[in-house]
A and B are shown apart, each in its own frame.
Chain A
């Protein structure tokens, strides 16, 4: 009887130790999966791509350029693929007034390569 009790006690100790180890690794597993989740969240909150600049279409730009150049008869303006192409000549003081207006029309760019600034 004493032997049986001793055997039962040893078995109880063995199972208790086994169950403790099992719980320990279960906790570790949970901790590991938390780390994985955190990593996934970080990748989701990465910097979003900024929206592209606002570019007006040719029709809107042609109207705007016509209005802007009305008082500058020596300047010719053409619009192609949202680019304003200027030619002719203009006084520097007038160019400094005209350029902000042209920029406010939302062109892709203003090409003044063929414009002489006097």
Chain B
């Protein structure tokens, strides 16, 4: 086992024990890459918490942790912006036109997720478009 895998052993073990699927641990140029699919957002949060304990504030820059919790189509999610409303865009990108807003604290339905950053959603008012997934919390 390499020194990096040793440093992040607890994280790798937690990922295995928490049911992360497609788990891949690779190392290249003194950086460890951990990829996989988390069964829920809470598992993803747990892994990031373990990462923070192993490397406070993620300062070393020796790990790329890419374990995402992809919400299934039809999942209901709460808009968890700080206080503002969430932009709904025509496409997945901030260069795409804003076509609506999802209110802070409101509930939307996730239709699909083209990548880990963006989700296609529908509001209860019927507005449909792409929002930044970071501001959604699955219920």
Contact = CB atoms under 8 A, between A and B. Distances in A.
A108 B61 CA distance: 10
A111 interface: yes
Nearest to B92: A67
Main secondary structure of the interface of A (DSSP, over half): mixed
A107 B64 contact: yes
B26 A52 contact: yes
Interface stretch (B14-22, B28-36, B71-79, B99-107): B28-36
A80 interface: no
A84 B22 CA distance: 25
Given A63-B93, A67-B132, A96-B52, A108 B66 contact: no
B61 A53 contact: no
B94 interface: yes
Chain B contact-residue range equals 20 to 34
A67 B93 contact: yes
Contacts of B134: 68, 97, 100-101
A70 B93 CA distance: 11
B58 A109 contact: no
Contacts of A104: 66, 68, 115-117
